[in-house]
Chain A
């Protein structure tokens, strides 16, 4: 009886500590990755953002234009930042199959010599990937929409595709963690707007296409 008691204590003690150490308590759900291998051995993967459903928030500064105007979550900036050429947006991110797999932040900043765009995409089950590129010109989306017949305050629908990396420039994979750690590569970003409502809310899709490889 005494032996059973002592063995049970040891079992309970050891089992609990082993559970604390080995059990993956906080593992994230993972969906199959929609990646494909391309000719040079790199890996191609597309991330999508459906607007307006996937927009979490955007800053309200003047630089935001339509991308801020119709956002449900508004980040109200202090007076010092309102006139700055700065736009910060937060999104949910989907894989190419349309399932939500992560969250993302996009920082556009035109205060320096030239505009820059930086993305941080966090896929909890896989890691984070940081993308960087020369930024789009201010109000590029509004300019393209006006050329497509949109006028402010009125509903519009159609199809306008806007590449967000200036022609001749390249977006690069700058950093990564987890599964994305050590990857190099490039990316493209395009916004396709299908509708704008009276309040300025955009409907459309943001496509981020990455090509990555592991440097030898």
Chain B
């Protein structure tokens, strides 16, 4: 009996040490290389530029009610669909984006973090449509901001900024493909950046400003 008790205590201590290692593990906080100054940047702010947000019942980060029209089916309950308005450098609306997101099976809490598969369809009416594919690591945001402030009632000490893109392209950037219009046939890379500017669980308030840094071949993506 004493051996069993000692073994259980040992297992718990070992597991606790491993959790501490996972928490401070730098491997799960990697991100893509910083974008270049010549990249085209599309901006969005949350929640102001959200056109529509449907979220699966098991994907609700903020614990919000997913509503009657939620993505409740078992096959899509870890999925979200976000309609977004994107602004150009002059802060004028220039594009509509559909962002289809799902938790990624590549998630690896030891080596890569909590990954989301991001699929953007971005249409700039006068130019065409782009498809953007990115793996985004949500672990730094979950660990440093959401869980402490939203769920553990720690004081908000923001703003906090994140570079979530971790692949699947070269330099851990995302991949952009031109589908129609002047973008057709072009390929490039993409990196996302966002800053949480306010987070208040009591008022159910979460504000953020995001940027999509695009680098595509051709004159259509020159910095404006």
Let me know if B119 and A5 touch, CB within 8 A.
no
Let me know if A116 and B128 touch, CB within 8 A.
yes
A30 (CB) vs chain B CBs: closest residue: B75
Shortest distance between the CB of A63 and any CB in chain B (Å): 10
Give A92 to B71 CA distance when docked, in angstroms. 8
B85 cross-chain contacts in A, Cβ below 8 A: 77-78
Given the contacts A28-B103, A175-B131, A4 and B6 also touching, CB distance less than 8 Å: yes
Query: Of A95-103, A153-161, A188-196, which stretch is located at the interface?
Result: A95-103
Give A112 to B184 CA distance when docked, in angstroms. 12
A100 (CB) vs chain B CBs: closest residue: B73
Q: Is A118 an interface residue (CB 8 A)?
A: yes
Which of chain A's residues 111-133 have a Cβ closer than 8 Å to chain B?
111-112, 116, 118, 120, 122-125, 128, 130, 132
Query: Of B30-38, B93-101, B144-152, B209-217, which stretch is located at the interface?
Result: B93-101
Q: Is B12 an interface residue (CB 8 A)?
A: yes
Q: Is B121 an interface residue (CB 8 A)?
A: yes
Let me know if A9 and B14 touch, CB within 8 A.
yes
SS class, residues of chain B in contact with chain A: mixed
Given the contacts A12-B13, A56-B69, A78-B85, A20 and B22 also touching, CB distance less than 8 Å: yes
Interface membership of chain A positions 69-81, coded 1 if the CB is closer than 8 angstroms to chain B and 0 otherwise: 0001111111011
Give A5 to B9 CA distance when docked, in angstroms. 8
Which of chain A's residues 1-57 have a Cβ closer than 8 Å to chain B?
1, 4-17, 20-21, 24-31, 56-57
Q: How many chain A residues have a CB neighbour from B under 8 Å?
A: 67
Let me know if A120 and B119 touch, CB within 8 A.
yes
Interfacial residues, chain A to chain B (CB-CB below 8 A): 1, 4-17, 20-21, 24-31, 56-57, 59, 72-78, 80-81, 84-86, 88, 90, 92, 99-105, 107, 109, 111-112, 116, 118, 120, 122-125, 128, 130, 132, 174-175, 177
Shortest distance between the CB of B138 and any CB in chain A (Å): 11
SS class, residues of chain A in contact with chain B: mixed
Shortest distance between the CB of B102 and any CB in chain A (Å): 4
B96 cross-chain contacts in A, Cβ below 8 A: 59, 75, 77, 81, 86, 88, 107
A115 (CB) vs chain B CBs: closest residue: B180
Q: Which of A6, A7, A105, A128 has the most CB of B within 10 A?
A: A105
Q: Is B165 an interface residue (CB 8 A)?
A: no
